[in-house]
């Protein structure tokens, strides 16, 4: 959504304009102290957890092949970065490629499903089957059929990520306000216009909720599929490096790979939440602070 440039009219726009019905309060902003606390509290919590971890390992003399201390893991993260960084890149590529295809495919299929109840009747059972079958169970088949391991991983991640986008967007497209649909009919809107100007914007909050789920699932599926595929070698992702570290009892590196995965997941979640917030903050209830 782009905001409208009102030109000269904007200069007159003033929320304090004299009028008999007063507008609702402007979007409330958070006080500064709360903003600081919102950043500070999670950071303090993180520091405390790492401190507890370091203390436990030192106090009880835990061997590093069972639980390495945070210092060892950090060292490993730096020392093994060439290997882990490459693996991360591979995993990220699969994750984002799968997510991108899932978004396009999910939205396109949702539009198709809601355009005709016959198409919905014909296709939706297969969508459900695709969703409920564990991806680990179909991964071996996909590995056989797919031209390369990378494309097999992509297909697995896509299957998992695409369903939340599809089901949420479908729900959103069906939840359009009936009065607004009547209004569009009254003004002779074409199907295309109704889709662009009404149904898609109305489905946006639902789609964004799907995106947040799909973002996390795409990463999980990329890792799980790689486990299932048992791929190995230089072109492998973080999942292979995890397994490899386990076989070699290189537990610090295993932890380092795990931390990279966690961080990636958190960043994806944060990014999708931010996108959602930016798109909805002006109008949707979910993005507005309640003030009583």
Partner 1 sequence: MSLATSSPPSAAPGRPIVRLEHISKTFSNGTIALKDMSLTIRAGEFISLLGPSGCGKSTALRMLAGLGEPSSGSIVWPDDKAASKGSEGEIGFVFQEPTLMPWATVFKNVWLPLRLKGISKEAARPRVMEALEMVGLDKFVDSYPRELSGGMKMRVSIARALVTRPRILLMDEPFAALDEITRQKLNDDLLRLWEQFGWTIVFVTHSVFESVYLSSRIVVMAARPGRVIDEIDVDAPHPRGIGFRTSQAYGEYCRRTSESLLSAIGAADHL
Given the rule CB under 8 A, which residues bind partner 1?
Answer: 1, 3-4, 6, 9-10, 12-15, 17, 19-24, 26-27, 177, 179-180, 182-189, 193, 197-198, 201-202, 204, 282-285, 288
For residue 282, the minimal CB distance to partner 1 (Å) is: 5
Rounded CA separation 208/26 (Å): 24
For residue 9, the minimal CB distance to partner 1 (Å) is: 6
Query: Number of C-alpha atoms within 13 angstroms, CB side, residue 99?
Result: 23
For residue 77, the minimal CB distance to partner 1 (Å) is: 43
Nearer to partner 1, 10 or 144 (CB): 10
Nearer to partner 1, 145 or 192 (CB): 192
Nearer to partner 1, 172 or 237 (CB): 172
The token pair at 82 is: 């060439």
Angle between helices 251-280 and 200-229 (to 10 degrees): 170
Rounded CA separation 143/135 (Å): 12
Nearer to partner 1, 158 or 184 (CB): 184
Are the beta carbons of 157 and 95 closer than 8 angstroms? yes
The token pair at 260 is: 């990279």
For residue 273, the minimal CB distance to partner 1 (Å) is: 19
For residue 19, the minimal CB distance to partner 1 (Å) is: 7
Nearer to partner 1, 199 or 241 (CB): 199
Nearer to partner 1, 29 or 33 (CB): 29
For residue 30, the minimal CB distance to partner 1 (Å) is: 18
The token pair at 32 is: 């500064």
């Amino acid at each position: 959504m782009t905001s409208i440039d009102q030109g000269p009219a904007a200069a007159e726009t003033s929320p304090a304009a004299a009028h008999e019905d007063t507008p609702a309060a402007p979007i409330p902003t958070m006080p500064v102290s709360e903003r600081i606390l919102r950043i500070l509290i999670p950071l303090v919590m993180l520091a405390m957890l790492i401190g507890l971890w370091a203390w436990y390992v030192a106090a009880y003399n835990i061997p590093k092949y069972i639980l390495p201390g945070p210092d060892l893991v950090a060292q490993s993260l730096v020392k093994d970065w060439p290997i882990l960084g490459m693996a991360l890149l591979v995993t990220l590529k699969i994750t984002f490629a799968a997510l991108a295809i899932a978004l396009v495919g999910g939205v396109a299929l949702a539009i198709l499903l809601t355009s005709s109840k016959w198409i919905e009747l014909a296709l939706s059972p297969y969508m459900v089957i695709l969703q409920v079958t564990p991806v680990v169970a179909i991964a071996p088949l996909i590995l056989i059929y797919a031209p390369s391991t990378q494309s097999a991983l992509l297909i697995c991640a896509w299957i998992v990520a695409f369903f939340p986008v599809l089901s949420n967007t479908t729900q959103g497209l069906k939840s359009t306000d009936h009065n607004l649909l009547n209004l569009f009919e009254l003004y002779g809107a074409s199907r295309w216009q109704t889709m662009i100007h009404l149904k898609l914007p109305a489905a946006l909050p639902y789609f964004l909720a799907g995106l947040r789920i799909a973002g996390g699932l795409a990463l999980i599926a990329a890792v799980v599929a790689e486990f299932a595929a048992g791929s190995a070698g230089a072109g492998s992702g973080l999942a292979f490096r995890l397994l490899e570290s386990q076989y070699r009892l290189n537990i610090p590196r295993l932890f380092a790979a795990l931390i990279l995965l966690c961080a990636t997941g958190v960043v994806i979640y944060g990014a999708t939440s931010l996108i959602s917030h930016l798109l909805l903050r002006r109008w949707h209830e979910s993005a507005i602070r309640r003030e009583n």
